[in-house]
Amino acid sequence: MITGTDPPNLSARLCLATAYERLRNWQRGIDTFRVAVNIGVAADQIPSRVGKAYLRMHELHKGVEALENASRINPTSFDNLPNLGTAYLQLGRLHGAEEAFKEITV
């Protein structure tokens, strides 16, 4: 069992969060990622996965915030950019969507 006091084990945290995602328990997945960050786990995929979870929960602004953070960490992430571009489109931020999609096609 993984607890909040376990050492920063990225693999275990990602496995647990993935299990929550498969169960469509997005908030538990987000909470798992937050605990991981708070204990010192650093990975560019964490904000991207949090952003995707927020988008699935229809919380576009929180999703975009997390995806933008992921984009700052890894500006060329092919896992992140399509989600960021799509979220921008849904918010009517056409220039941001265009920029995100351009990064994919370069």
**pLDDT tens string 58-75:** 999 999 999 999 998 888
Q: How many domains does the chain have?
A: 1
Short-list 87, 81, 86, CA closest to 100: 81
Distance CA 66, CA 63 (A): 5
**pLDDT tens string 42-52:** 777 888 889 99
Amino acid in the structure at residue 100:
A
Tokens of 18: 């993935």
Dihedral sign of CA atoms 63, 84, 66, 36 in order: positive
Q: Is the pTM of this model over 0.85?
A: no
- Domain with 43, as residue range(s), is 10-105
Is 5 among the domain residues?
Answer: no
Is 3 among the domain residues?
Answer: no
Characterise 54 by phi-psi region: left (phi > 0), alpha (psi -120 to 50), beta (else). alpha
Any idea what the CATH number is for the domain that residue 79 is in? 1.25.40.10
